[in-house]
Each structure stands twice: as C-alpha cells, then as structure tokens.
Amino acid sequence: MNPNLKWKALFILVVILFCIYFLLGLPTFPTSLAQVKDNFSHQIKLGLDLQGGTHLILQVQVQEAIAQETDQTVDRLTNELRTRNIHYEEVRRVDDTHILVRNIDPSQLGQFRDLVTAQYANVWDLTPAAGDPSGYTLTLRPGAIAQIQESTMAQSLETIERRINALGLTEPTIQRRGGRNENEILVQLPGEGDPTRAKSVIQAGGQLELRLVEDPRSYPSQSEALAAHGGILPAGTELVPGRSETRTPSGAPDTSEAWYVLSRAPVVTGRDLRTAVENRNTNNPGQWQVNFTLSPEAARRFGPFTQQNISRQMAIVLDHRVYSAPVINGRIDDSGMIEGSFSQDTAHDLALVLRAGALPASIKYLEERTVGPSLGADSIRHGVQASVLSLVVVMLFMLVYYRLSGGNAVLALILNLIILLAVLALFGAVLTLPGIAGVILTIGMGVDSNVLVFERIREELRNGKSPGSAVEAGFSKAFLTIIDTHVTTVVSAFFLFLFGTGPIRGFAITLTIGLIANVFTAIYVSKTIFQYHLAKMDRQAELSI
C-alpha cells in the first residue's frame, strides 16, 4: 500500500482522537459514563437562550459625569477668583462643556488669563467671549471629554462588577459593548430567571454623603424653604429633599416630603466607608437598617467634627435624598446607620451597594431579555431532536442511495460534527439556538459536498472510466465547486460576524467552523477512505456508489 496513504490515515486518526479527547476527556480524564457526560457539558457551554438567564444592555449616562466636571470647575473657579480678589460679574455654566465668565475687571484681565492657563489649561480651552470684550468662555477640551468618558466607563464597569459579584450569581458576564461612543455595558446572568433584584442593585446610585444641616427646620416644599430665607439660600448650602422626621399625632411616622437646607460640602462620603452591614432596627423590630463604619482617616476627621457640632443635626443623604437627619448627641468616631423603611432584602442590597461603591453616573436600561429555564430546556430538546432526526434521515438516505459510498459520507458527516463541537469548545464559544441552526445547515452543506463528489464519480464511471480514475477525477472536478460554494458562504458569514450581534454572531461562528471542517472531512477524509478502499479491493470489482 502507498505509504503516503498510511500517513494520511494516521493524521486523520490523530485529529479525530484529539477532538474526542477535547470534547470528553477534559478537564479530568473520565472513568465513568457519568463523567463523560459531565465533561461534555463542561466543555460545550450553553448560551443564555438554552440554559435560561438574563441578558441586559445598559447605557452609562456619561454626559452626567461631564456636566459634573463642569459644575465642579465653576465652583473651583469662583473660589479661586474670590481668594485672588479678581472682580467679575458672573461665572456661569452655559452647557455641559462650556463655562462663561462675564465682565471681568479690565485691569485684571491679565491676572485672570494667567490663573486659567496655570490651573486649567490642560482640561479647558480659553477663548474671548463673543460680544463681551472683558469676558471669556472656557471650553472643555475634546481630549478631556474622552478621558472623562473613559474613566467613567471604567469605573462604572468596575462598580457594577463588584455589585454583581456580591450578589453571588453563577458565572456572570459583564463587559463593554458597542462602539467607543456608545457607552454601553452588556450584563449576562446565566440561570437568573427574575432580574428585578439584580437590576435594582446595578442601577442603585449608592452615593452616600453625611452633611451638616444648616437650618434646624425642614420645609414641606422647595418654594417654602426658599421663602423662609428671603429667596436666597445662605452661601454654601443647598436644598435636598427627603422624608419628614416628625411624627403624626397618632404616632405613626409622617411620610410626607420634607426639604432640608444642607451644607454643600459633605463631611464624609461613600468613599470613606470601611464596611456596611444590614441589621434589625432596634427601635422598630419589623424594620431593618444599615450600619456602617468609617475608615480610620475619615474617623480622624469625623470625631473632632462631631465634637464641635454637638446638638446640631447631621443629614444622611443617599443618592441626593435625605434618609434621616439625627441630632448629634456626642462625639462619634467611626460608626453610623441609615434608617428607613427597609425590609431585610432591601437593607441587604443597600449595604451591598454601599460596600461596592457609587456609580460615577446614572444608568439606563436599553434592552432586557429573560429566558426562563423551562423555555431553555424546551429549546434544547427541540433543537437536539430536530438535529438528530434530520441527521438520521439524511444518513439513511445516503446509505440507501449511495450504498457503501454512502457509509463514507455518513462517516464524514459525523466527523464534521465532532470537529465542529471540539473547535467550539476550544474557543470557549457558547452554543446558542441559532448556533444549533448553524449546525443543521452545516449538515446540509456537508451532504451537498458529498453529493457533488459522488455524482461526479458516477458520471465519470458512466463515461467508462475505471473506479480508481473515476474517484480521482470526481474529487478533482468537484473540488473547485466545493471551494467556491464554501468561500461564498464563509464570506457572508464573515460579514454576519463582523456586523451582527448576539444570535447572528453565534450562527456565523458555528457555520464558519462547520464549513471549514466540512472541506476537511468531505474532501480530505472522504478521499482517503476511497483510496484506502480502492487499494484493498479487486481491480475488476465495481465501486459501490
């Protein structure tokens, strides 16, 4: 026998064994049938549509972080101008990326320019304001915007990751998605049939601040609060809404809205927290609260601060809402609590969010898909049943129609599937429902290649060629056609992969792998089997095709 043929056969055998080992032999070599099954389901990961779970696409409102940067710059600039005694009429935020400074004292213009170039030039561009000879516009640089965007996205991703990991779900996926300016994050929670809780944990702002209350009274509305101060709040304060602290005559807590006048600068923020834990509310047994402790540095600040402000009120502000405003009764070093109408779950989630840190900007949900476990199980059952049934039908037909050669085709098809699954496992790709459809189409294309070759061989035999040369001619003539058809399909699959998302991509991946495997099995393997058979059989015998 041709030694070349032996090498080919050996090569094919090695490929098959490698694929089977990869599918069933990892991660631990199986010693029982159950382990084989376990290994297989470990290697072939199922997509959300098959195992059930939640798929969320959320968008980080980066614009908020940019607006915040502008706000902070306005505050900083105002302070700087005051301390340097530079006179001006107004420093105003025009929009998210522009600040206008009006009517600067003409003799101090040089001083103003020097200040801005020295302190703000790497982030802000300074240009003369239109229609105001002594005014300037500060424009946030594109580079700085991009940097804010980048850091906001990175921080959001990290925070969301910490929060979701704290929820203790299995194998969550959290990744950035879409183009640079889409600011989108994809969250996949396999096996999670009800995303309500995960969603609220992800979306929670988690911005905790402890601020001094500047006015002991609280007001039922914003306008009343303003009226009480003659229309202008004291410098460095702002109005923050919250719940009223008073109780109704019957003793039940008053749930009506209340506005507090708070100092703008927080004494302590969420970053100063060391831990946060939910606990039963000692005064109100049915309710829960969140106790927190501060980091040592924050405690060093907080201790003296509370000492100085005994008998004043301290507001606990979460996501720009006052939760409570207790009176400071004595020096507090490092602990506090957040009271509210929390259940055990909501208190637990709040503590979790506080531990994981605040989001730099708020979040909107763009898309949500939840597949219940029973639908996933249904889909697998249907998909596998359909695949197996079509495979059996196709194989039976090939065996009846092409007899022994049909067996060759059946072998090529099975091998094709094994390689396809092994490559999927190798790349860690997940099998989705459209992926199963891709597998079924691969079966179709595989049959097509075999039929093309076999019909060609039959034609050559009809033209009177010997079995050996008919096989040779059949393969070589069908080869170009097979390559052409496969390349065109791969070209379209390539575009599907490049521009498609989710289900379309899964489909494109399985189809492409299947097609490449098919060129190998339907041409290389099938031809080797034919040659093997031809080498062994009687020269005069007819080919069973």
Window 455 to 514, contacts with another protein (CB under 8 A): 455, 458-459, 477, 480-481, 484-485, 487-489, 491-496, 498-504, 507-508, 511
Closer to another protein by CB, 57 or 261: give it.
Answer: 57
x-or-dash string of contact with another protein, 167-196, rule CB under 8 A: --------------------------xx--
Q: Give the integer Cα–Cα distance in Å for 231 and 31.
A: 81
The minimum distance between CB 500 and another protein, in angstroms, equals 6
Window 50 to 89, contacts with another protein (CB under 8 A): 57, 59
Look at residues 254, 256, 223 and name the one whose alpha carbon lies nearest to residue 239: 223
Tell me the sheet residues that pair with 316: 210, 324
Report strand pairing: 314-318 vs 124-128.
unpaired
Window 335 to 394, contacts with another protein (CB under 8 A): 364-379, 381-383, 385-386, 389-390, 393-394
User: Is 221 one of the binding residues for another protein (CB under 8 A)?
Assistant: no
Among 447, 471, 517, 522, binds another protein (CB under 8 A): 447
The minimum distance between CB 533 and another protein, in angstroms, equals 17
Identity of the residue numbered 252? A
User: Is 396 one of the binding residues for another protein (CB under 8 A)?
Assistant: no
The minimum distance between CB 462 and another protein, in angstroms, equals 9
The minimum distance between CB 4 and another protein, in angstroms, equals 28
The minimum distance between CB 153 and another protein, in angstroms, equals 18
x-or-dash string of contact with another protein, 17-56, rule CB under 8 A: --------------------------------x-------
Q: Quick one: DSSP state of residue 270?
A: G
Whether the CB-CB separation of 418 and 23 falls below 8 Å is answered with yes
Which stretch in 24-32, 117-125, 454-462, 532-540 sits in contact with another protein by CB under 8 A? 454-462
Whether the CB-CB separation of 203 and 319 falls below 8 Å is answered with no
Residue 289, classed as helix, strand or coil, is strand
Whether the CB-CB separation of 70 and 96 falls below 8 Å is answered with yes
Residue 197 token pair: 């809780």
User: Is 431 one of the binding residues for another protein (CB under 8 A)?
Assistant: no
Closer to another protein by CB, 365 or 524: give it.
Answer: 365
Closer to another protein by CB, 265 or 377: give it.
Answer: 377
- In the block, residue with structure tokens 């049959």: 447
What percent helix, strand, coil does the chain show, rounded to 5?
A: 55, 20, 25
Q: Report the 10 Å Cβ neighbour count for 362.
A: 16
Helices (H), 361-501: 373-427, 433-462, 467-499
Closer to another protein by CB, 46 or 99: give it.
Answer: 46
User: Is 400 one of the binding residues for another protein (CB under 8 A)?
Assistant: yes
Which stretch in 69-77, 116-124, 247-255, 436-444 sits in contact with another protein by CB under 8 A? 436-444
The minimum distance between CB 148 and another protein, in angstroms, equals 22
CA angle, residues 530, 534, 536, in degrees to nearest 5: 120
Query: How would you classify residue 407: left for phi > 0, otherwise alpha for psi between -120 and 50, otherwise beta?
Result: alpha
User: Is 239 one of the binding residues for another protein (CB under 8 A)?
Assistant: no
Starting at the edge strand found earlier in the chain, the sheet holding 335-342 runs: 273-280, 288-294, 335-342
Total number of residues that touch another protein (CB under 8 A): 74
Window 301 to 320, contacts with another protein (CB under 8 A): none
Number of Cα atoms under 13 Å in the Cβ half of residue 453: 29
Q: Give the integer Cα–Cα distance in Å for 334 and 292.
A: 8
CA angle, residues 385, 387, 392, in degrees to nearest 5: 95
The minimum distance between CB 430 and another protein, in angstroms, equals 16
Which stretch in 37-45, 214-222, 239-247, 430-438 sits in contact with another protein by CB under 8 A? 430-438
